[in-house]
Amino acid sequence: MKYLFVFNKDCVKTSLNSLRYYSKTRPELPKCDFIANNSKPRLGNFEIETIHKLNLNPCLKPWYQKPVILTQGYMQYVWDNENNRYLDMFGGIVTTGVGHCHPKLVDAATKQLKKLWHTSSIYYNEEVHEYASNLANRLPEPLNNIFFCNSGSEANDIAILMARLYTKSYDIIALRNAYHGDSTSTQPLCGVQSWKFPIPSHFGVHHTTNPDPYSGRFGGNKCRDSVVQTTRDCDCGVDECDACDRYIEDLQQVFDSTLPKTVCAFIAESIQGVGGVVQFPKQFLKKAFQMVRERNGICIMDEVQTGFGRTGTHFWGFEGHEVIPDIVTMAKSIGNGFPLAAVATTASIANTLTSASYFNTFGGNPLASCVGLNVLKIIDEENLQNNCHIMGTKLLHGFESLRQKYADIVGDKDRKPMIKSDFDSILEDCKDMGLLVGRGGPKNNVFRVKPPMCVNEEDIDFTIKVFEKAFDLHNDRSAKRRFKTITNNNNNH
């Protein structure tokens, strides 16, 4: 078999150390009227890289062969220290909900900074009470009690503590492939190997099979509640999901084999984030909740990445599963990047924290509460939940078209995961064309696209065009490697 490799004369080499080639016809970023502050940065590339190596923990690894030094943000866009603009379709790791430096949020925070910056819960302040009332009104009864803290990991820490105090049981069930934070007590809940340290910390945590219709043992094109289904065939009927029942059978085996008669809790994300944007089969969470509650356990929903209207159809991801949890944890979009998180639960479960002294110095201080309250106002005023529904649907259909066009490398059929170097090259190509996206999944081969909620049609079109170009560049590189291999083999013979 012969392979024909054609080098496009319109391509230029951008780095002597890189095999990536870029066409002069790269997609053009949507127009933006905002003018970034292009004053000379205080620190140059060399200073930043040197300080990073000397003074920051080595676990804090930057992405990309040439890391991005960000200096400015506005709505869905960010700028680097060379005044290059990027469309941020990862939203600060699913955190920038209403947009970078949203003018209304900047104004509200500035006014609050001049009024009252910090005081702890030993004093009353109007900001935390107004915010708590507004946030509680977004949740179904009886989830009307809020504890504010600073991060998603901390929120899940508190949820675990309350669950164990309330049920007087210890064992917690989590899903394989899940991610719930990286603190000492939440790391055991994680079901992704790359987030595991070799230390004894997994007491009382049990993992059941991840109900993944795309790459799991069961499921296919009739299973998940999404506008785009996997192309994998399945035997599920119109009203019954056989895959769901199979995964529930696995959960039943965990109950029957490794757990006592009563359990503490079951915890899950509404859609798995770090684990690769996994959507569960229909009815799985509803059936799992019932099984847990029959064993005296409570149900915790991790809404750190799915809350605050991001799913489009509902304000909370769990609403799409037709369940009401006993505890809800939230972070990230709650403060649009401000260190803010919360745990919502019932009055009786919340009361467990009064059995000993418990306190959080910064959680729900006046500034954090002001930011959180105004995030809620902006979501309403700018109809961002509905925008998520419209733009998210458009984005999913766009990705579906790419899946069809690039079936050899994208999605839905059984194949070996793309090797890390190839995936990283595509990620780098996207960045060099002005698009920032994330990565995830157990094999780090899933693109995580979770933008600020204010993106528009032009942003979606640009995103699809960049991915299309990046996949073409990947195929060009692959063809070149095959051509080089064949040439070397011919020369050797």
Where residue 236 falls among pLDDT bands split at 50, 70, 90?
Answer: confident
Distance of alpha carbon 22 from alpha carbon 115, whole angstroms? 51
**pLDDT value at 26 more than 50:** yes
**Contact indicator for 132, 124 with CB cutoff of 8 Å:** no
Residue keyed to tokens 């094109």: 221
Q: Which residue would you say has higher pLDDT here, 481 or 492?
A: 481
Question: Has residue 191 got a pLDDT over 60?
Answer: yes
For residues 36-46, average pLDDT:
86
Q: Are 282 and 224 in contact (CB under 8 A)?
A: yes
pLDDT value of position 146: 98
In angstroms, the Cα distances linking 493 to 1, 484, 486, 487 are: 16, 14, 11, 10
Contacts with 54 (C-beta within 8 Å, 6 or more apart), sequence order: none
Label residue 89 by pLDDT band (50, 70, 90). very high
**pLDDT tens per residue, range 219-230:** 998 898 888 888
Given a cut of 60, is residue 390 above it in pLDDT?
Answer: yes
| 192, 269 Cβ separation under 8 angstroms | no
Rounded to the nearest 10°, the torsion over CA 105, 108, 110, 114 is -160
Question: What's the pLDDT band for 14 if we cut at 50, 70, 90?
Answer: very low
Encode burial over 325-340: b for 16+ CB neighbours within 10 A, e otherwise: bbbbbbbbbbbbbbeb
CB half-sphere exposure, 44, CA atoms < 13 A: 1
Alpha-carbon span 118 to 362, nearest angstrom: 8
**The length of the chain, given as a count of residues:** 493
pLDDT tens for 366-376 read 999 999 999 99
CA distance 322 to 283: 8
Per-residue pLDDT at 24 exceeds 60: no
Residue 245 has pLDDT above 50, yes or no: yes
Which residue ranges form the domains of the chain, and what is each CATH number?
Answer: 11-98+384-492 (3.90.1150.10), 103-381 (3.40.640.10)
Confirm if 411 and 403 have CB atoms less than 8 A apart: yes
pLDDT of residue 413: 58
pLDDT at 190 over 70: yes
pLDDT value at 22 more than 60? no
* Adjacent-strand bridge partners of 12: 22
- What is the per-residue burial (b if ≥16 Cβ within 10 Å, else e) of 199-237? eeeeeebbbbbbbbbbbbebbbbbbbeeebbbebebebe
Facing residues of 436 across strands?
A: 88
Mean pLDDT rounded to a whole number for the chain: 90
